[in-house]
């Protein structure tokens, strides 16, 4: 079974960092992908772009 990837859609870099810290403290090993807006999130979800 493949590891679950978590997609975080957040435009505030400070909130992204707080989320990363919370993941580490919670010992979550899931890969965190960050999109800064809805367009980036949809590009990721539909595998368009990088």
- pLDDT for the residue 3: 83
Which of 19, 25, 18 has its CA nearest to residue 7? 19
pLDDT in 10s for each residue of the chain, 50 residues: 568 999 999 999 999 999 999 999 999 999 999 999 999 999 999 986 55
Q: What is the pLDDT of residue 2?
A: 65
Residue 17 CB-density burial (10 A; 0-12 exposed, 13-18 middle, 19+ buried): exposed
Return the domain boundaries, the chain.
5-45
């Amino acid at each position: 079974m493949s590891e679950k990837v978590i997609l975080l859609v957040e435009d505030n870099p400070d909130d992204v960092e707080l989320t990363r810290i919370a993941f580490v403290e919670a010992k979550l090993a899931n890969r965190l992908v960050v999109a800064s807006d809805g367009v980036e999130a949809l590009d990721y979800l539909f595998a368009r772009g990088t």
